[in-house]
Homo-oligomer: A and B are copies of this chain.
Amino acid sequence: MQNLKVYNTLSRKKEIFEPLNAPFVGMYVCGPTVYSEVHLGNSRTFISFDIIFRYLSHLGYKVRYVRNITDAGHLENDADEGEDKISKKARLTQLEPMEIVQKYTLDFHHVLRLFNNKPPSIEPTATGHILEQITMAKDILNKGLAYESNGSIYFDVDAFNKEFNNEYGRLSGRNVEDMISNTRELDGQSEKRNPADFALWKKASPEHIMRWDSPWSIGFPGWHLECSVMSSKYLGKQFDIHGGGMDLKFPHHECEIAQNKASHGKKEPVKYWLHANMLTLNGQRMSKSTGNTLLPHELFSGENDKLSQAFSPMVVRFFILQAHYRSTLDLSNDALLAAEKGFQKMITATHTLSTLKAAQESSLNIDELIAKWYAAMNDDFNTPVLIAQLFDGVKLINNIKDGKSTLNKVDLEKLQKEFSSFVFDVLGLKTEAQTQNQGDEILNGVMKTLLELRKQAKDNKDWTTADLIRNQLAELKIKVTDTKDGAIWEAE
Protein backbone atom coordinates (compact mmCIF):
# COMPACT_ATOMS: atom_id res chain seq x y z
CA MET A 1 0.00 0.00 0.00
CA GLN A 2 2.82 2.38 0.82
CA ASN A 3 4.16 2.12 -2.72
CA LEU A 4 1.28 3.81 -4.51
CA LYS A 5 2.21 7.07 -6.18
CA VAL A 6 -0.31 9.45 -7.71
CA TYR A 7 0.26 12.45 -9.92
CA ASN A 8 -0.98 15.53 -8.10
CA THR A 9 -2.00 18.37 -10.39
CA LEU A 10 -1.42 20.78 -7.52
CA SER A 11 2.27 19.93 -7.12
CA ARG A 12 2.72 18.82 -10.74
CA LYS A 13 4.53 15.68 -9.63
CA LYS A 14 3.97 12.14 -8.55
CA GLU A 15 3.63 11.87 -4.80
CA ILE A 16 3.44 8.92 -2.44
CA PHE A 17 -0.21 8.35 -1.59
CA GLU A 18 -0.75 8.80 2.12
CA PRO A 19 -4.40 9.27 3.05
CA LEU A 20 -5.27 11.62 5.90
CA ASN A 21 -6.98 8.88 7.92
CA ALA A 22 -5.90 5.51 6.54
CA PRO A 23 -7.47 3.04 5.90
CA PHE A 24 -10.25 5.51 5.07
CA VAL A 25 -10.03 7.42 1.82
CA GLY A 26 -12.36 10.24 0.80
CA MET A 27 -12.67 10.76 -2.95
CA TYR A 28 -14.82 13.34 -4.72
CA VAL A 29 -15.30 13.33 -8.49
CA CYS A 30 -17.25 15.95 -10.43
CA GLY A 31 -20.18 14.19 -12.07
CA PRO A 32 -22.24 15.08 -15.12
CA THR A 33 -24.59 17.95 -15.81
CA VAL A 34 -27.64 15.91 -16.78
CA TYR A 35 -29.07 17.81 -19.72
CA SER A 36 -28.14 15.43 -22.57
CA GLU A 37 -26.88 11.92 -23.16
CA VAL A 38 -23.54 11.27 -21.50
CA HIS A 39 -20.80 11.62 -24.09
CA LEU A 40 -17.89 9.35 -24.61
CA GLY A 41 -15.30 11.77 -23.24
CA ASN A 42 -17.19 11.96 -19.96
CA SER A 43 -17.56 8.19 -19.96
CA ARG A 44 -13.78 7.93 -20.21
CA THR A 45 -13.36 10.22 -17.20
CA PHE A 46 -15.78 8.16 -15.10
CA ILE A 47 -14.15 4.88 -16.18
CA SER A 48 -10.76 6.35 -15.17
CA PHE A 49 -11.99 7.17 -11.68
CA ASP A 50 -13.76 3.83 -11.45
CA ILE A 51 -10.34 2.21 -11.91
CA ILE A 52 -8.91 4.41 -9.16
CA PHE A 53 -11.85 3.53 -6.87
CA ARG A 54 -11.40 -0.17 -7.67
CA TYR A 55 -7.63 -0.23 -7.18
CA LEU A 56 -7.75 1.67 -3.88
CA SER A 57 -10.40 -0.80 -2.68
CA HIS A 58 -8.26 -3.69 -3.95
CA LEU A 59 -5.37 -2.38 -1.84
CA GLY A 60 -7.62 -2.54 1.20
CA TYR A 61 -8.56 1.11 1.60
CA LYS A 62 -12.11 1.87 2.71
CA VAL A 63 -13.09 4.42 0.10
CA ARG A 64 -16.04 6.77 0.41
CA TYR A 65 -16.53 7.79 -3.21
CA VAL A 66 -18.77 10.82 -3.74
CA ARG A 67 -19.77 11.78 -7.28
CA ASN A 68 -22.35 14.52 -7.75
CA ILE A 69 -25.14 15.07 -10.24
CA THR A 70 -25.39 18.67 -11.41
CA ASP A 71 -29.11 19.28 -11.83
CA ALA A 72 -29.13 23.08 -11.50
CA GLY A 73 -26.82 26.06 -11.70
CA HIS A 74 -24.61 25.05 -14.63
CA LEU A 75 -24.95 27.87 -17.14
CA GLU A 76 -24.15 27.69 -20.82
CA ASN A 77 -20.82 29.40 -20.41
CA ASP A 78 -18.39 29.40 -17.58
CA ALA A 79 -18.46 33.19 -17.06
CA ASP A 80 -21.76 33.05 -15.14
CA GLU A 81 -23.77 33.99 -18.21
CA GLY A 82 -26.31 32.34 -20.44
CA GLU A 83 -29.20 30.06 -19.67
CA ASP A 84 -29.08 27.15 -17.22
CA LYS A 85 -28.24 24.10 -19.37
CA ILE A 86 -31.09 22.05 -17.93
CA SER A 87 -33.67 24.86 -18.09
CA LYS A 88 -32.75 25.45 -21.73
CA LYS A 89 -33.26 21.82 -22.66
CA ALA A 90 -36.55 21.87 -20.74
CA ARG A 91 -37.69 24.95 -22.65
CA LEU A 92 -36.70 23.44 -26.01
CA THR A 93 -38.43 20.13 -25.31
CA GLN A 94 -41.40 21.60 -23.39
CA LEU A 95 -40.72 19.54 -20.32
CA GLU A 96 -40.30 20.36 -16.65
CA PRO A 97 -36.54 20.74 -15.87
CA MET A 98 -36.76 17.86 -13.44
CA GLU A 99 -38.09 15.62 -16.22
CA ILE A 100 -34.89 16.40 -18.13
CA VAL A 101 -32.86 15.59 -15.02
CA GLN A 102 -34.65 12.27 -14.55
CA LYS A 103 -34.27 11.24 -18.19
CA TYR A 104 -30.56 11.91 -18.43
CA THR A 105 -29.70 10.68 -14.94
CA LEU A 106 -31.28 7.34 -15.87
CA ASP A 107 -29.38 7.35 -19.18
CA PHE A 108 -26.12 8.15 -17.39
CA HIS A 109 -26.59 5.34 -14.87
CA HIS A 110 -27.53 2.95 -17.66
CA VAL A 111 -24.40 3.69 -19.71
CA LEU A 112 -22.09 3.45 -16.71
CA ARG A 113 -23.70 0.14 -15.73
CA LEU A 114 -22.99 -1.19 -19.23
CA PHE A 115 -19.37 -0.08 -18.78
CA ASN A 116 -19.36 -2.05 -15.52
CA ASN A 117 -18.52 0.99 -13.41
CA LYS A 118 -19.25 0.57 -9.74
CA PRO A 119 -21.73 3.13 -8.40
CA PRO A 120 -20.26 5.75 -6.07
CA SER A 121 -20.96 5.54 -2.34
CA ILE A 122 -22.97 8.77 -2.40
CA GLU A 123 -24.40 10.59 -5.41
CA PRO A 124 -25.60 13.99 -4.14
CA THR A 125 -27.39 16.56 -6.29
CA ALA A 126 -27.04 20.34 -6.48
CA THR A 127 -30.78 20.82 -5.86
CA GLY A 128 -30.46 18.59 -2.82
CA HIS A 129 -28.05 21.10 -1.23
CA ILE A 130 -29.47 24.56 -1.92
CA LEU A 131 -29.67 25.42 1.79
CA GLU A 132 -26.09 24.33 2.39
CA GLN A 133 -24.98 26.42 -0.59
CA ILE A 134 -26.76 29.49 0.79
CA THR A 135 -25.07 28.86 4.14
CA MET A 136 -21.61 28.71 2.54
CA ALA A 137 -22.26 31.83 0.45
CA LYS A 138 -23.35 33.65 3.62
CA ASP A 139 -20.21 32.52 5.36
CA ILE A 140 -17.92 33.76 2.57
CA LEU A 141 -19.86 37.03 2.47
CA ASN A 142 -19.43 37.44 6.23
CA LYS A 143 -15.70 36.88 5.86
CA GLY A 144 -15.50 39.78 3.41
CA LEU A 145 -14.47 37.61 0.48
CA ALA A 146 -17.66 38.04 -1.52
CA TYR A 147 -20.00 40.94 -2.24
CA GLU A 148 -23.62 41.44 -3.15
CA SER A 149 -24.45 43.11 -6.42
CA ASN A 150 -28.04 43.52 -7.58
CA GLY A 151 -29.29 40.47 -5.66
CA SER A 152 -26.40 38.25 -6.79
CA ILE A 153 -23.38 37.28 -4.72
CA TYR A 154 -19.94 37.23 -6.31
CA PHE A 155 -16.73 35.79 -4.98
CA ASP A 156 -14.09 38.51 -4.72
CA VAL A 157 -10.99 37.00 -6.33
CA ASP A 158 -8.77 40.02 -5.62
CA ALA A 159 -9.67 40.15 -1.95
CA PHE A 160 -9.14 36.41 -1.69
CA ASN A 161 -5.75 36.54 -3.38
CA LYS A 162 -4.61 39.30 -1.06
CA GLU A 163 -5.56 37.31 2.02
CA PHE A 164 -4.55 33.91 0.67
CA ASN A 165 -1.16 34.58 -0.89
CA ASN A 166 -2.29 34.57 -4.52
CA GLU A 167 -3.76 31.13 -4.15
CA TYR A 168 -6.35 31.58 -6.91
CA GLY A 169 -4.72 30.31 -10.11
CA ARG A 170 -2.21 27.98 -8.44
CA LEU A 171 -3.93 24.71 -9.39
CA SER A 172 -4.30 25.60 -13.05
CA GLY A 173 -1.09 27.63 -13.23
CA ARG A 174 -2.82 30.80 -14.36
CA ASN A 175 -2.21 34.30 -13.29
CA VAL A 176 -5.15 36.47 -12.45
CA GLU A 177 -3.86 39.48 -14.40
CA ASP A 178 -3.68 37.39 -17.60
CA MET A 179 -7.11 36.00 -16.94
CA ILE A 180 -8.62 39.45 -16.68
CA SER A 181 -7.09 40.61 -19.94
CA ASN A 182 -8.24 37.40 -21.68
CA THR A 183 -11.85 37.66 -20.56
CA ARG A 184 -14.36 38.85 -23.11
CA GLU A 185 -16.74 41.55 -22.02
CA LEU A 186 -20.16 39.99 -21.51
CA ASP A 187 -23.65 41.28 -20.85
CA GLY A 188 -24.30 41.72 -17.17
CA GLN A 189 -20.58 41.51 -16.53
CA SER A 190 -20.85 44.95 -15.02
CA GLU A 191 -22.39 43.42 -11.90
CA LYS A 192 -18.93 42.09 -11.12
CA ARG A 193 -16.17 44.28 -9.70
CA ASN A 194 -13.63 42.22 -11.59
CA PRO A 195 -14.14 39.92 -14.58
CA ALA A 196 -12.33 37.11 -12.73
CA ASP A 197 -14.95 37.13 -9.96
CA PHE A 198 -17.49 34.34 -10.07
CA ALA A 199 -21.04 33.87 -8.86
CA LEU A 200 -21.92 32.16 -5.58
CA TRP A 201 -25.57 33.07 -6.03
CA LYS A 202 -27.35 34.49 -9.06
CA LYS A 203 -30.60 36.42 -8.98
CA ALA A 204 -33.00 34.70 -11.37
CA SER A 205 -34.12 36.58 -14.45
CA PRO A 206 -37.91 36.32 -14.98
CA GLU A 207 -37.58 33.47 -17.51
CA HIS A 208 -35.24 31.43 -15.31
CA ILE A 209 -37.60 28.76 -13.96
CA MET A 210 -35.28 26.89 -11.59
CA ARG A 211 -35.29 29.23 -8.61
CA TRP A 212 -35.13 29.26 -4.84
CA ASP A 213 -35.57 31.74 -2.03
CA SER A 214 -32.41 33.21 -0.48
CA PRO A 215 -31.56 36.17 1.79
CA TRP A 216 -30.51 38.15 -1.30
CA SER A 217 -32.97 37.26 -4.07
CA ILE A 218 -35.02 34.53 -5.59
CA GLY A 219 -32.32 32.86 -7.60
CA PHE A 220 -30.03 29.89 -7.91
CA PRO A 221 -26.56 28.87 -6.75
CA GLY A 222 -23.41 29.38 -8.83
CA TRP A 223 -22.16 26.21 -10.46
CA HIS A 224 -18.87 25.98 -8.55
CA LEU A 225 -20.46 26.22 -5.13
CA GLU A 226 -22.23 22.85 -5.15
CA CYS A 227 -18.98 20.86 -5.28
CA SER A 228 -17.42 22.79 -2.39
CA VAL A 229 -20.54 22.20 -0.34
CA MET A 230 -21.09 18.54 -1.16
CA SER A 231 -17.46 17.45 -0.91
CA SER A 232 -17.02 19.04 2.51
CA LYS A 233 -20.44 17.85 3.75
CA TYR A 234 -19.72 14.20 2.95
CA LEU A 235 -15.92 14.03 3.18
CA GLY A 236 -15.00 16.76 5.66
CA LYS A 237 -13.15 20.05 5.31
CA GLN A 238 -10.02 18.20 4.26
CA PHE A 239 -10.13 15.06 2.21
CA ASP A 240 -7.83 12.92 0.11
CA ILE A 241 -8.67 12.90 -3.58
CA HIS A 242 -10.56 15.26 -5.84
CA GLY A 243 -10.96 14.21 -9.45
CA GLY A 244 -12.57 15.32 -12.65
CA GLY A 245 -11.92 15.93 -16.32
CA MET A 246 -8.94 18.09 -17.33
CA ASP A 247 -11.33 20.76 -18.62
CA LEU A 248 -12.64 21.31 -15.09
CA LYS A 249 -9.26 22.39 -13.74
CA PHE A 250 -10.10 25.95 -14.59
CA PRO A 251 -12.29 27.66 -13.60
CA HIS A 252 -14.29 25.00 -11.77
CA HIS A 253 -11.68 23.44 -9.51
CA GLU A 254 -9.80 26.69 -9.01
CA CYS A 255 -13.05 28.21 -7.74
CA GLU A 256 -13.72 25.23 -5.50
CA ILE A 257 -10.37 25.64 -3.76
CA ALA A 258 -10.98 29.37 -3.31
CA GLN A 259 -14.45 28.80 -1.85
CA ASN A 260 -13.28 26.06 0.49
CA LYS A 261 -10.36 28.11 1.80
CA ALA A 262 -12.43 31.26 2.10
CA SER A 263 -14.95 29.36 4.19
CA HIS A 264 -12.83 26.81 6.04
CA GLY A 265 -9.40 28.41 6.36
CA LYS A 266 -5.93 28.10 4.88
CA LYS A 267 -5.43 24.35 5.11
CA GLU A 268 -5.52 22.59 1.74
CA PRO A 269 -9.04 21.21 1.31
CA VAL A 270 -7.81 18.47 -1.02
CA LYS A 271 -4.59 16.53 -0.66
CA TYR A 272 -4.40 15.08 -4.20
CA TRP A 273 -5.97 16.64 -7.30
CA LEU A 274 -6.33 14.12 -10.14
CA HIS A 275 -7.37 15.02 -13.68
CA ALA A 276 -8.33 12.71 -16.53
CA ASN A 277 -7.41 13.67 -20.06
CA MET A 278 -9.47 14.12 -23.22
CA LEU A 279 -10.71 11.64 -25.75
CA THR A 280 -10.41 12.61 -29.41
CA LEU A 281 -12.17 11.00 -32.35
CA ASN A 282 -10.24 10.19 -35.51
CA GLY A 283 -7.53 12.60 -34.50
CA GLN A 284 -9.78 15.55 -33.80
CA ARG A 285 -11.53 17.08 -30.85
CA MET A 286 -15.07 15.74 -30.44
CA SER A 287 -17.60 18.43 -31.11
CA LYS A 288 -21.30 18.43 -31.77
CA SER A 289 -21.04 21.45 -34.07
CA THR A 290 -18.57 19.81 -36.49
CA GLY A 291 -20.35 16.45 -36.30
CA ASN A 292 -17.16 14.80 -35.06
CA THR A 293 -18.96 13.02 -32.28
CA LEU A 294 -20.02 9.56 -31.20
CA LEU A 295 -22.38 8.53 -28.43
CA PRO A 296 -21.95 5.42 -26.29
CA HIS A 297 -25.16 3.84 -27.60
CA GLU A 298 -23.94 4.36 -31.18
CA LEU A 299 -20.78 2.44 -30.31
CA PHE A 300 -22.80 -0.39 -28.75
CA SER A 301 -25.18 -0.65 -31.73
CA GLY A 302 -22.65 0.20 -34.45
CA GLU A 303 -25.12 2.72 -35.83
CA ASN A 304 -22.77 5.49 -36.89
CA ASP A 305 -21.00 5.70 -40.23
CA LYS A 306 -17.65 6.12 -38.48
CA LEU A 307 -17.92 2.48 -37.38
CA SER A 308 -17.71 -0.77 -39.32
CA GLN A 309 -19.50 -2.74 -36.62
CA ALA A 310 -20.90 -2.63 -33.09
CA PHE A 311 -18.46 -2.71 -30.18
CA SER A 312 -19.45 -4.15 -26.83
CA PRO A 313 -19.11 -1.95 -23.74
CA MET A 314 -16.33 -4.23 -22.51
CA VAL A 315 -14.31 -3.77 -25.70
CA VAL A 316 -14.69 0.00 -25.37
CA ARG A 317 -13.68 -0.18 -21.71
CA PHE A 318 -10.63 -2.26 -22.62
CA PHE A 319 -9.75 0.22 -25.35
CA ILE A 320 -9.96 3.14 -22.90
CA LEU A 321 -7.77 1.35 -20.36
CA GLN A 322 -5.08 0.80 -22.98
CA ALA A 323 -4.15 4.46 -22.49
CA HIS A 324 -3.09 6.12 -19.26
CA TYR A 325 -5.80 8.32 -17.81
CA ARG A 326 -3.57 11.42 -18.00
CA SER A 327 -2.81 10.96 -21.72
CA THR A 328 -5.07 12.03 -24.53
CA LEU A 329 -6.58 9.06 -26.29
CA ASP A 330 -7.75 8.89 -29.88
CA LEU A 331 -10.70 6.69 -30.69
CA SER A 332 -11.08 5.22 -34.16
CA ASN A 333 -12.69 2.20 -35.72
CA ASP A 334 -9.30 0.54 -36.30
CA ALA A 335 -8.23 1.10 -32.73
CA LEU A 336 -11.46 -0.46 -31.49
CA LEU A 337 -11.03 -3.46 -33.78
CA ALA A 338 -7.56 -3.98 -32.36
CA ALA A 339 -8.89 -3.59 -28.81
CA GLU A 340 -11.53 -6.21 -29.54
CA LYS A 341 -8.85 -8.75 -30.45
CA GLY A 342 -6.82 -7.93 -27.37
CA PHE A 343 -9.85 -8.16 -25.13
CA GLN A 344 -10.85 -11.56 -26.55
CA LYS A 345 -7.32 -12.86 -26.10
CA MET A 346 -7.28 -11.81 -22.48
CA ILE A 347 -10.70 -13.28 -21.74
CA THR A 348 -9.80 -16.54 -23.45
CA ALA A 349 -6.76 -16.70 -21.18
CA THR A 350 -8.96 -16.38 -18.09
CA HIS A 351 -10.91 -19.42 -19.32
CA THR A 352 -7.74 -21.37 -20.12
CA LEU A 353 -6.28 -20.46 -16.73
CA SER A 354 -9.13 -22.22 -14.93
CA THR A 355 -8.32 -25.48 -16.75
CA LEU A 356 -4.56 -25.57 -16.10
CA LYS A 357 -3.02 -28.39 -14.08
CA ALA A 358 -0.27 -27.87 -11.52
CA ALA A 359 3.14 -29.48 -11.92
CA GLN A 360 5.68 -30.58 -9.31
CA GLU A 361 8.02 -27.67 -9.94
CA SER A 362 7.68 -24.11 -11.18
CA SER A 363 9.81 -23.26 -14.17
CA LEU A 364 9.75 -19.55 -13.40
CA ASN A 365 9.27 -17.04 -10.58
CA ILE A 366 5.59 -16.13 -10.55
CA ASP A 367 5.99 -13.53 -7.78
CA GLU A 368 8.13 -11.39 -10.05
CA LEU A 369 5.42 -11.28 -12.68
CA ILE A 370 2.69 -10.41 -10.19
CA ALA A 371 4.88 -7.75 -8.60
CA LYS A 372 5.07 -6.03 -11.99
CA TRP A 373 1.27 -5.78 -12.12
CA TYR A 374 1.22 -4.04 -8.77
CA ALA A 375 4.12 -1.84 -9.80
CA ALA A 376 2.23 -0.70 -12.90
CA MET A 377 -0.87 0.27 -10.93
CA ASN A 378 1.22 1.76 -8.13
CA ASP A 379 2.75 4.07 -10.73
CA ASP A 380 -0.23 6.48 -10.89
CA PHE A 381 -2.70 3.77 -11.99
CA ASN A 382 -0.84 2.96 -15.18
CA THR A 383 -3.35 0.65 -16.85
CA PRO A 384 -1.61 0.43 -20.27
CA VAL A 385 1.54 -0.89 -18.62
CA LEU A 386 -0.58 -3.23 -16.50
CA ILE A 387 -2.33 -4.56 -19.61
CA ALA A 388 0.97 -5.10 -21.42
CA GLN A 389 2.25 -7.06 -18.45
CA LEU A 390 -0.97 -9.00 -18.07
CA PHE A 391 -0.30 -10.13 -21.66
CA ASP A 392 2.96 -11.61 -20.35
CA GLY A 393 0.63 -13.52 -18.07
CA VAL A 394 -1.45 -14.58 -21.09
CA LYS A 395 1.71 -15.86 -22.79
CA LEU A 396 2.62 -17.79 -19.65
CA ILE A 397 -0.89 -19.29 -19.42
CA ASN A 398 -0.68 -20.47 -23.01
CA ASN A 399 2.80 -21.84 -22.43
CA ILE A 400 1.62 -23.83 -19.44
CA LYS A 401 -1.28 -25.16 -21.51
CA ASP A 402 1.20 -26.20 -24.22
CA GLY A 403 3.54 -27.77 -21.69
CA LYS A 404 6.29 -25.23 -22.32
CA SER A 405 6.21 -23.84 -18.77
CA THR A 406 5.11 -25.29 -15.47
CA LEU A 407 3.88 -23.99 -12.12
CA ASN A 408 3.53 -25.87 -8.89
CA LYS A 409 0.22 -25.90 -7.03
CA VAL A 410 0.93 -22.89 -4.80
CA ASP A 411 2.19 -20.78 -7.69
CA LEU A 412 -0.64 -21.80 -10.02
CA GLU A 413 -3.22 -20.85 -7.42
CA LYS A 414 -1.47 -17.54 -6.90
CA LEU A 415 -1.53 -16.89 -10.65
CA GLN A 416 -5.21 -17.82 -10.88
CA LYS A 417 -6.16 -15.56 -7.99
CA GLU A 418 -4.08 -12.54 -9.01
CA PHE A 419 -4.68 -12.70 -12.76
CA SER A 420 -8.47 -12.90 -12.29
CA SER A 421 -8.48 -10.18 -9.71
CA PHE A 422 -6.52 -7.78 -11.95
CA VAL A 423 -8.67 -8.54 -15.00
CA PHE A 424 -12.08 -8.61 -13.33
CA ASP A 425 -11.82 -6.63 -10.08
CA VAL A 426 -9.20 -3.99 -10.84
CA LEU A 427 -9.74 -3.40 -14.57
CA GLY A 428 -13.45 -4.16 -14.12
CA LEU A 429 -13.71 -6.29 -17.26
CA LYS A 430 -16.38 -8.93 -17.70
CA THR A 431 -16.53 -11.88 -20.01
CA GLU A 432 -19.19 -11.55 -22.68
CA ALA A 433 -21.13 -14.32 -20.93
CA GLN A 434 -21.08 -12.28 -17.71
CA THR A 435 -22.05 -9.22 -19.72
CA GLN A 436 -24.91 -10.66 -21.69
CA ASN A 437 -25.77 -13.75 -19.75
CA GLN A 438 -24.83 -17.33 -19.31
CA GLY A 439 -26.98 -18.17 -22.35
CA ASP A 440 -24.32 -16.96 -24.77
CA GLU A 441 -21.75 -19.41 -23.52
CA ILE A 442 -24.26 -22.20 -24.04
CA LEU A 443 -25.16 -20.80 -27.45
CA ASN A 444 -21.52 -20.84 -28.49
CA GLY A 445 -21.24 -24.47 -27.45
CA VAL A 446 -24.45 -25.52 -29.16
CA MET A 447 -23.49 -23.70 -32.36
CA LYS A 448 -20.12 -25.43 -32.33
CA THR A 449 -21.89 -28.79 -32.23
CA LEU A 450 -24.28 -27.78 -34.98
CA LEU A 451 -21.46 -26.60 -37.25
CA GLU A 452 -19.65 -29.88 -36.65
CA LEU A 453 -22.75 -31.79 -37.73
CA ARG A 454 -22.99 -29.54 -40.79
CA LYS A 455 -19.39 -30.30 -41.71
CA GLN A 456 -19.96 -34.01 -41.15
CA ALA A 457 -23.08 -33.94 -43.34
CA LYS A 458 -21.21 -32.16 -46.11
CA ASP A 459 -18.27 -34.58 -45.85
CA ASN A 460 -20.77 -37.45 -46.15
CA LYS A 461 -22.58 -35.70 -49.02
CA ASP A 462 -25.75 -35.87 -46.86
CA TRP A 463 -27.30 -32.83 -48.53
CA THR A 464 -30.69 -33.22 -46.81
CA THR A 465 -29.15 -32.68 -43.39
CA ALA A 466 -26.80 -29.94 -44.58
CA ASP A 467 -29.72 -28.11 -46.20
CA LEU A 468 -31.88 -28.53 -43.11
CA ILE A 469 -29.19 -26.92 -40.98
CA ARG A 470 -28.57 -24.14 -43.47
CA ASN A 471 -32.26 -23.27 -43.80
CA GLN A 472 -32.98 -23.30 -40.12
CA LEU A 473 -30.00 -21.10 -39.35
CA ALA A 474 -31.07 -18.71 -42.12
CA GLU A 475 -34.48 -18.49 -40.48
CA LEU A 476 -32.81 -17.54 -37.21
CA LYS A 477 -30.78 -14.93 -39.15
CA ILE A 478 -27.52 -16.64 -38.31
CA LYS A 479 -24.92 -16.13 -41.01
CA VAL A 480 -22.40 -18.94 -41.47
CA THR A 481 -19.16 -18.27 -43.37
CA ASP A 482 -16.75 -21.02 -44.39
CA THR A 483 -13.13 -20.07 -43.86
CA LYS A 484 -9.94 -22.08 -44.19
CA ASP A 485 -9.98 -22.56 -40.40
CA GLY A 486 -13.55 -23.89 -40.44
CA ALA A 487 -16.99 -22.30 -40.37
CA ILE A 488 -17.63 -19.19 -38.32
CA TRP A 489 -21.04 -17.76 -37.52
CA GLU A 490 -22.61 -14.54 -36.43
CA ALA A 491 -26.13 -13.52 -35.49
CA GLU A 492 -27.41 -10.56 -37.45
Contact A465 B453 (CB under 8 A): yes
Contact A437 B438 (CB under 8 A): no
Interface size on A, residues (CB 8 A): 49
Question: What number of copies of this chain does the assembly contain?
Answer: 2
State A365–B135 Cα separation when bound (angstroms). 69
* Contacts A128-B128, A439-B437; A468 near B491 (Cβ below 8 A): no
Task: Note all chain B residues with C-beta closer than 8 A to A465.
Answer: 453, 456
* Contacts A446-B443, A449-B450, A469-B449; A98 near B119 (Cβ below 8 A): no
List the B residue with the shortest CB-CB distance to A471.
Answer: B449
- Any B CB within 8 A of the CB of A473: yes
Contact B472 A449 (CB under 8 A): yes
Residue among A128, A234, A472, A476 with max Cβ neighbours from chain B (10 Å): A128
Which of B438, B452, B468, B475 touches A468 (beta carbons < 8 Å)?
Answer: B452
Which of B122, B127, B436, B449 touches A439 (beta carbons < 8 Å)?
Answer: B436
State A448–B130 Cα separation when bound (angstroms). 60
Contact A438 B491 (CB under 8 A): yes
State A436–B443 Cα separation when bound (angstroms). 13
* Contacts A122-B96, A212-B131; A449 near B437 (Cβ below 8 A): no
Contact A135 B491 (CB under 8 A): no
- Any B CB within 8 A of the CB of A151: no
Contact B468 A449 (CB under 8 A): yes
Could you mark each residue 95-135 of chain A with 1 if its beta carbon is under 8 Å from any beta carbon of chain B, else 0?
01011011000100100000000011111110110111001
State A28–B243 Cα separation when bound (angstroms). 37
Within 8 A of B (CB), among A441-469: 442-443, 445-450, 452-453, 456, 465, 468-469
State A109–B125 Cα separation when bound (angstroms). 17
- Any B CB within 8 A of the CB of A180: no
* Binding site secondary structure of chain A: helix
* Contacts A446-B476, A478-B442; A124 near B98 (Cβ below 8 A): yes
Task: Note all chain B residues with C-beta closer than 8 A to A469.
Answer: 449, 453
Task: Note all chain B residues with C-beta closer than 8 A to A119.
Answer: 102, 106
Which of B128, B135, B439 touches A125 (beta carbons < 8 Å)?
Answer: B128
Task: Note all chain B residues with C-beta closer than 8 A to A130.
Answer: 130-131
Task: Note all chain B residues with C-beta closer than 8 A to A326.
Answer: none
Q: How far is the CB of A61 from chain B (nearest CB, A)?
A: 16
State A135–B212 Cα separation when bound (angstroms). 10
Contact B445 A475 (CB under 8 A): yes
List the B residue with the shortest CB-CB distance to A464.
Answer: B456
Which of B96, B106, B124, B446 touches A446 (beta carbons < 8 Å)?
Answer: B446
- Any B CB within 8 A of the CB of A440: yes
- Any B CB within 8 A of the CB of A213: yes
Q: How far is the CB of A312 from chain B (nearest CB, A)?
A: 12
List the B residue with the shortest CB-CB distance to A477.
Answer: B442
State A101–B102 Cα separation when bound (angstroms). 17
State A135–B476 Cα separation when bound (angstroms). 61
Task: Note all chain B residues with C-beta closer than 8 A to A476.
Answer: 442, 445-446
State A131–B221 Cα separation when bound (angstroms). 13
Contact A443 B445 (CB under 8 A): no
Which of B96, B123, B213, B437 touches A234 (beta carbons < 8 Å)?
Answer: B96
Task: Note all chain B residues with C-beta closer than 8 A to A88.
Answer: none
- Any B CB within 8 A of the CB of A271: no
- Any B CB within 8 A of the CB of A89: no
List the B residue with the shortest CB-CB distance to A138.
Answer: B213
Task: Note all chain B residues with C-beta closer than 8 A to A252.
Answer: none
- Any B CB within 8 A of the CB of A5: no
Contact B450 A439 (CB under 8 A): no
| Cβ contacts A to B, 17 pairs, < 8 Å | A64-B96, A99-B122, A102-B119, A102-B121, A106-B119, A109-B109, A125-B128, A128-B128, A436-B437, A442-B476, A443-B446, A445-B475, A446-B450, A446-B473, A449-B450, A450-B450, A450-B453
**CB-CB nearest 5 A-B residue pairs:** A445-B476, A128-B128, A449-B472, A98-B122, A443-B443
A interface residues, Cβ below 8 angstroms from B = 64, 96, 98-99, 101-102, 106, 109, 119-125, 127-128, 130-132, 135, 212-213, 234, 436-440, 442-443, 445-450, 452-453, 456, 465, 468-469, 472-473, 475-476, 478, 491
Given contacts A101-B122, A125-B128, A128-B128, 10 further A-B contacts (CB under 8 A): A98-B124, A98-B234, A102-B119, A131-B212, A131-B213, A442-B443, A443-B446, A445-B476, A446-B478, A448-B472
